[in-house]
A and B are shown apart, each in its own frame.
Chain A
Amino acid sequence: MKIPLQYIALNLWTRRLTTALTAGGLALVVFVFATVLMLDEGLKKTLVTTGEYDNVVLIRRAADTEVQSSVERDQAAITASHAAIALGTNGEPQVSKETVVLIVLNKRGSDKPSNVIIRGISPLGAMLRPQVKLTSGRMFRPGSSEIIAGSGIAKQFVGAGIGETLRFGQREWTVVGQFDAANSGFDSEIWGDADQLMQAFRRQAYSSVIVRLNNSQRFDAFKQEIESDPRLTLEAKREQIFYADQSKALSTFISILGITLSVIFSLGAMIGAMITMYASVANRVAEIGTLRSLGFRRSSILVAFLAESLLLSLVGGVVGLLLASLMQTVSFSTTNFQSFSELAFGFELNATIIVKSLAFSLVMGLLGGFLPALKAARMKIVDSLRAA
């Protein structure tokens, strides 16, 4: 025979203040847990959508990032003439020889400096990234000191809005356009003409070469040919994997920190649930005796108290998730240790995170409620009836 759920829910309702405080503690823990998962998910999504699966990034061997890499002009030319590269409508190979450097810009408002990626692209560079769309202004003119800024940069940094100018490499650079890159890593970059930027920075070599393959399946063969060519000292990676690799350190840092915190905090919340449930048992000794003498089994009592605790934690979990879902409107921006540059990303909520967070809150309820429920179930009928 089961004790009805309504009876259990009413028990929680009777002690509203206690229920609210306990559920509030649980909600905060679930909130921390969920936001960390969301942040990690947002970071991964940002860096994975940065890369196009069909594109290949070529950088110098042993360099981890484009900033560390250098690709000599002759090597870039050899790569660009490879037969596996897709051709455009006019028969030109779909290649962008790029130069990537960091410049220090100050944040609007706080004036705090941060490293920003500035990418010089070839005329085809924008076409190789179909997710990048100009939202206002126009494209920079090749051969001029004009640049365009990603949406994450334009908002955050002094001098990066349309019409403003930035000074570096003995020149004034005018921002003529703003682009949106669908929340990918390019949103945190500034783009300009590769040749102009190389001249300004007195660089002889490119940083990377981006190519599109005519047949994506041929990637392994292409990689093998490039890496075994004695004239080249390059390494080929799919663009998607290249960017995903760059998020590893930051992603590990966020998840380790977050999970450690959640576990420690959950101990606190579990103790809260345990105190509440013990009190709930202690206050209802006579009631438990009555239920038992009416014929409810020990197991029904155990289940009823566990259900009460689970219900309590579910309320906390749902409230915590609701709070966390508000975080989706907030954007988070920090330095990615690996590329040593500013990266903006959001909090990303998905079904897996919802399930994980609710499961996490239920586990807290189960662990917190088990001992008190056991105590309730083990009471002797006579003793408990006498206690009243």
Chain B
Amino acid sequence: MFALRLILKNALRHRLRTSLTILGLVIATLSFGLLQTVISAFYAGAEASSATRLVTRNAISLVFPLPLSYSPKIRGIEGVTGIAHANWFGGIYQEPKNFFPQFAISGVEYLKLYPEFVLNDKEQAAFAHDRKGCIVGRKLANQYGFKLGDVIPLKGTIFPGQWEFVVRGIYDGKQANTDTSQFFFHWDYLNETIKKTAPSRANQVGVYIVQIGNPDNAAAISRTLDEQFRNSLAETLTETEQAFQLGFISMSEAIIVAIRVVSFVVIVIIMAVMANTMAMSARERLSEYATLKALGFPPRFLVLLIFGESLLIALIGSLLGIALLFPSAAAFSAKLGTFFPVFDIAPQTLLLQLACAAVVGLVAAIVPAVRSARINIVDGLRSIG
């Protein structure tokens, strides 16, 4: 109890220095938390994927399509319970910087495979009945102010021309990590238009989404499926939805690694600041420590004092940083819009923040603690800080 009071008194002795150090810790834990959240946002798509969905694409790369005629063949494979297809549209809404994912989908059967997209029956029927209809996610609708009945013009880059779609539904996500920044419209509409403008590109599908009954059979079904089209003009590559999503993430891996490294650099920076604070405090108090020793306190009491003060400051700073993380993540997410479809703080992030703060507090106290524990009483009393 006595030690605790002494620690508190020591921490409050240099108010300005302590508050500056705490401020530094707040900034560091806050930015560390934000960076960790950015990293987990990259992985959100993979985490939200279902184990019962496979994605089949052209083995060469996503740029190459698959023929529509594969659909009945895939449906016939044992263990397959549903199939839908989609094309990446890649249109531009007003300006290239207004990026959001757009897919031409095989109508309601596609939506059936994605139960996490919640759309009421009325809107779903309205979408099904309108050839030029489209549905948008809630986050996307909020960002651009799309309402039911709005006409959205898109400039095609892969499929040339000026396209117009009417909003027939706005879907919500069942879970917090469901991506509601997407835009869906009828593949049939795309295909009919392409038949007129570029007949050689008609009846082609970007990817097939294959639903399977039992996730344990994913590997076997993928193998059978790819085997069926081996040595054909369009060989397929089938993988689980999660593997498919992770493939995308691994493309930006260098950037993710860089962000991860940098998020730890900020911890090292604050470690230097904190160590500096502790070293200065300990140097100024050398004569005090010598007095305590002369009074009969053992060296481990001094060590306890220094570690206690360091940990206390680190803890206060990190708790404030964690408290500030929530409003700043919300502001960050609002600012970025649909760039990161899901931007949630993971519980592990908070634990990591606390752990990092504890490490900073411990490391910062090592040198001063060792020094003061070793100090010779006579030298310490003579020291003038």
Question: Which chain A residues have a beta carbon within 8 Å of chain B's beta carbons?
Answer: 17-18, 21-22, 24-25, 28-29, 31-32, 60-64, 67-68, 101-104, 112-115, 168-170, 201-202, 204, 233, 253, 257, 261, 264-265, 267-269, 271-272, 274-276, 278-279, 283, 332-335, 340, 342
Contacts and interface: CB of A to CB of B under 8 A. Distances in A.
A275 B21 contact: yes
A68 B157 contact: yes
A63 B237 CA distance: 27
B60 A201 contact: yes
Contact of B251 (A63, A67, A334): A334
Interface stretch (B24-32, B118-126, B137-145, B302-310): B24-32
B250 A268 contact: no
A68 B61 contact: no
Contact of A28 (B60, B61, B265, B280): B265
Nearest to A202: B233
Contact of B60 (A25, A60, A104, A261): A104
5 contacts: A25-B270, A115-B61, A272-B273, A333-B254, A334-B252
A374 to B, nearest CB: 14
Contact of B269 (A28, A64, A102, A274): A28
B367 A102 contact: no
B266 interface: yes
**Which of B23, B255, B272, B279 has the most C-beta atoms of chain A within 10 angstroms of its own C-beta?**
B272
A17 B64 contact: no
A201 B234 CA distance: 9
Contacts of B111: none
B272 A265 contact: no
Contact of B31 (A25, A113, A264): A264
A268 B155 contact: no
Contact of A334 (B16, B233, B253): B253
Given A63-B157, A278-B17, A17 B367 contact: yes
A264 B233 contact: no
A265 B266 contact: yes
Contacts of A274: 20
Given A113-B247, A115-B61, A268-B266, A22 B253 contact: no
A283 B272 CA distance: 20
A376 to B, nearest CB: 14
* Residue of A24, A202, A272 ringed by the most chain B CB atoms within 10 A: A272
Contacts of B31: 261, 264-265
A253 B254 CA distance: 13
B276 A22 contact: yes
A379 B119 CA distance: 70
Contacts of B247: 112-113
A49 to B, nearest CB: 21
Interface of B: 16-17, 20-21, 23-24, 27-28, 31, 35, 59-64, 90, 96, 155-158, 160, 200, 231, 233, 235, 237, 247, 250-255, 259, 262, 265-266, 268-270, 272-273, 275-277, 279-280, 284, 367, 385
B324 to A, nearest CB: 12
B279 A115 contact: no
B253 A112 contact: yes
A168 B254 contact: no
Contacts of A104: 59-61, 237
Given A102-B61, A104-B61, A201-B60, A18 B20 contact: no
B272 A28 contact: yes
Contacts of A201: 60, 64
A21 B259 contact: no
Contact of B17 (A103, A269, A275): A275
A275 B385 contact: no
Given A21-B273, A28-B265, A275-B276, A332 B61 contact: no
A68 B24 contact: no
A21 B250 contact: no
Contact of B64 (A101, A112, A267, A333): A101
Contacts of B235: 170
Given A261-B31, A265-B269, A276 B63 contact: no
A120 to B, nearest CB: 14
Nearest to B34: A264
Contacts of B160: 60-63, 233
Contacts of B231: 170
Contacts of A28: 265, 268-269, 272
Given A113-B247, A202-B233, A275-B280, 19 more contacts: A17-B367, A22-B272, A22-B273, A28-B265, A63-B157, A67-B63, A68-B157, A101-B64, A104-B59, A112-B250, A115-B61, A115-B62, A168-B59, A268-B269, A268-B273, A272-B276, A279-B280, A335-B252, A342-B251
